[in-house]
Amino acid sequence: MPSVEKKEPLLQVKNLKKYYPIKKGVISRTVGYVKAVDDVSFDIYPGETMGLVGESGCGKSTTGRSLVRLEDPTAGQVLFQGKDLASISHNEMRKLRTDLQIIFQDPYSSLNPRKRVGDLLAEPLVAHKLATKSEADKKVNEILEIVGLSKQYKNRYPHQFSGGQRQRIGIARALMLHPKLIICDEPVSALDVSIQAQVLNLLKDLQKGLNLTYVFIAHGLGAVKYISDRITVMYLGKVMELATTREIFEHPKHPYTEILLNAYPIPNPHMRDRNQMVVEGDVPSPANPPKGCVFHTRCPFAKDICREKVPALTGKDHLVACHFPLEPVNA
């Protein structure tokens, strides 16, 4: 992706924060905040796939949802083609939603069980008053074919489909309005391995054919590596590292990235006795994150400064938030 860097970013996330208040007592006093997303910034360029990875509770889904304003950010900006999604009116946002679509993790709960597939797919067109009934119908046929489903399926209900097929319907619905950016929130995590591959390949082909930009959220590093051009590694609401996929996997600079890559079981029994770096302890609660670097409680290299000072995200193309980033020689 060498040409990508020269283009204008399609979406810019600037110091995004999302805090959820913790309320207690009879009068629901706010006693604290869960810092789900805490000061996250990144740019997304047209045609690329940005992978967001991290363990549960790291804020990757909240970040994704904030990008299409399914969450109202507490602070910060989300600039889509220069417009700040966080501050525009609902009406304007509604118009912009034709460009911004989202695919959800669970294909079982994200499709209305009482609507036929044809109606489910035509709904975005009808809601945005973009097509007459017959036009919408034609469009539904066209999109169904693109995602690899027969147009006869139009009159069926979601429960008549398997998980993989439902996820195809979810993808078809996101494509109905010809969006520019699609947020894929763990689109394959709920699917079986052999079906995952089908959906990942479909997403990849669609991107090429329709010039789409993806934000791909997942906790499975394999899938993220397969589809992403660049990767953002998150931990406890903060960005730990951001670089091209190759850099992340070949020269990880943040100890957390290194540990995450290492924790992954390798499907090769000859490598089972390798020296594995296993990190002790659990992820701390986002309601009470550690002072200083949020990873210091589990980091094998933590020093005094890590407990005191929050490391800034620095670097040009390969950004890392660590006081003592790993040297390429060690990595």
Partner 1 sequence: MSELLKVDKIKTEFQTEKGPVTSVDEVSFDLNEGETICLVGESGCGKSVTSLSIMHLLDRNGSVTQGSILFDGKDIAHAKEAEMRKIRGNDISMIFQEPMTSLNPVLTIGDQLTEGIKLHMKLSKNEARNYAIEMLKKVGIPRAEGIIDEYPHKLSGGMRQRVMIAMALSCRPKLLIADEPTTALDVTIQAQILKLMKNLREDSNTAIILITHDLGVVAEMADKVAVMYAGQVVEETDVYTLFDNPKHPYTLGLMKSIPHITNPDDMRLNSIPGSVPSVHNMPKGCRFYDRCPHAMKRCLEEKPELKPIEDKQAHSIRCFLYEKEEQEYETKHAEKEVSS
Contact 76, 17 (CB under 8 A): yes
Given candidates 61, 66, 196, 232, which one binds partner 1 under the rule CB under 8 A?
196
Collapsing DSSP to helix, strand or coil, 33 comes out as strand
Regarding 244 and contact with partner 1 (CB under 8 A), the answer is no
Regarding 201 and contact with partner 1 (CB under 8 A), the answer is yes
Regarding 209 and contact with partner 1 (CB under 8 A), the answer is no
The closest of 238, 186, 216 to 52, measured between CA atoms, is 216
Shortest spacing between CB 255 and partner 1, in angstroms: 12
Q: How far apart are CA 60 and CA 39, in angstroms?
A: 13
Q: Which residues contact 100 (CB under 8 A, 6 or more apart)?
A: 67, 68, 80, 179, 180, 181, 182, 183
Regarding 14 and contact with partner 1 (CB under 8 A), the answer is no
Q: How far apart are CA 273 and CA 264, in angstroms?
A: 14
Collapsing DSSP to helix, strand or coil, 194 comes out as helix
Given candidates 182, 260, 294, 322, which one binds partner 1 under the rule CB under 8 A?
260
Given candidates 129, 193, 275, 329, which one binds partner 1 under the rule CB under 8 A?
193
Look up residue 104 and give its two tokens.
């959800």
Comparing CB distances to partner 1, the nearer of 82 and 269 is 269
Comparing CB distances to partner 1, the nearer of 175 and 190 is 190
Shortest spacing between CB 69 and partner 1, in angstroms: 28
Regarding 171 and contact with partner 1 (CB under 8 A), the answer is no
The closest of 313, 331, 189, 322 to 249, measured between CA atoms, is 331
Place of tokens 């589809």: 227
Regarding 28 and contact with partner 1 (CB under 8 A), the answer is no
Look up residue 129 and give its two tokens.
């008053």
Site for partner 1 in 150-169 (CB under 8 A): 162, 164-165
Chain positions contacting partner 1, by CB under 8 A: 55-56, 162, 164-165, 192-198, 200-201, 219-223, 225-226, 245-246, 249, 259-272, 276, 278-280, 282-283
